[in-house]
């Protein structure tokens, strides 16, 4: 049994207060033209009335030009991101060395007997591989050169729920950015990284899950976006997901 602890001191002894709420005993099952022509009129149509359309005149042309510039800028950004001849493939995101396809995140970790409780970050392991946009032919397959190697320099983690309740700090933990550096060359590369920070477990909504409180259990999908570049300096982005279920799992 865990001991209820103060935020400023996560160690202590004693027994749990009866009625504080039952603990979750183990991870639950993983979830899951023109208008039609008319007869010509023989009457004088009279003086033409100026067209009030905002797309006419100097100001209208400026507005249209601005929109076009915005579109072109966005297209340019996309082209910049796609100039690399390499592609970073995420083969798998798993629960660290356990290699499970999901993470059972314990919001409060205690020693046997429910003493010396603390909050612990959760880690995951990503497996990546480099592919070429032009792989060549079956008879003459292309191989990655050093310029095709990809270095990851940072990542972003966000959490979402399948029921659509995704307000950070209320329904799910806050998204955050982390730093990591690893290079994927030819073949498979693995790298461990933090996917749930310890500080998230002393903030809502995870804080309320202690001792079986609050919603008792929060199921989320962790979305991890990796940012980096190939060795020719061209930027690359790759994204992967993993199931993350938060609760006070035990002991």
The DSSP line for 9-77 is B------PPTTS-PPP-S-------PPPP-PPP-S---SPPPP--TTSHHHHHHHHHHHHHHHHHHHHH
pLDDT of residue 26: 52
In this prediction, residues 7-25 reach a mean pLDDT of: 45
- Position 11 pLDDT exceeds 50: no
- pLDDT bucket at 137, cuts 50 / 70 / 90: confident
CA 151/CA 231 separation, integer angstroms: 7
Measured in whole angstroms, how far is the alpha carbon of residue 189 from the centre of its chain?
20
Structure confidence at residue 115 as a pLDDT band (50, 70, 90) = confident
**Is it the case that residue 79 has pLDDT exceeding 90?**
no
Structural domains of the chain, ranges and CATH numbers in brackets:
85-247 (2.60.40.10)
Mean pLDDT of the chain: 77
At residue 61, φ and ψ (nearest 5 deg) are -65, -35
* Confidence bin at 48 (pLDDT 50/70/90): low
Question: What is the rounded distance in angstroms from the CA atom of residue 80 to the CA atom of residue 238?
Answer: 15
């Amino acid at each position: 049994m865990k001991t209820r602890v103060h935020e400023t001191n996560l160690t202590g002894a004693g027994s749990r207060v009866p009625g504080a709420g039952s603990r979750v005993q183990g991870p639950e099952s993983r979830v899951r033209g023109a208008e039609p022509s008319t007869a010509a009129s023989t009457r004088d149509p009279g003086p033409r009335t100026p067209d009030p359309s905002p797309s006419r005149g100097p100001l209208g042309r400026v507005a249209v030009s601005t929109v076009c510039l915005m579109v072109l800028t966005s297209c340019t950004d996309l082209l910049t991101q796609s100039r690399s001849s390499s592609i970073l493939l995420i083969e798998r995101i798993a629960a660290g060395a356990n290699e499970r396809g999901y993470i059972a995140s314990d919001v409060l970790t205690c020693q046997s007997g429910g003493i010396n409780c603390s909050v612990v970050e959760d880690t995951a392991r990503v497996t990546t591989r480099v592919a070429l946009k032009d792989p060549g032919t079956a008879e003459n397959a292309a191989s990655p050169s050093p310029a095709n190697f990809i270095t990851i320099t940072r990542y972003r983690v966000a959490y979402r729920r399948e029921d659509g309740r995704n307000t950070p700090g209320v329904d799910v933990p806050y998204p955050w950015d982390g730093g990591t550096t690893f290079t994927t060359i030819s073949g498979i590369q693995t790298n461990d990284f933090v996917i749930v920070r310890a500080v998230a477990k002393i903030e809502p909504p995870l804080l309320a899950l202690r001792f079986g409180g609050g919603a008792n259990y929060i199921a989320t999908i962790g979305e991890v976006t990796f940012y980096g570049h190939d060795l020719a300096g061209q930027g690359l982005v790759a994204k992967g997901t993993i199931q993350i279920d938060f609760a006070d799992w035990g002991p």
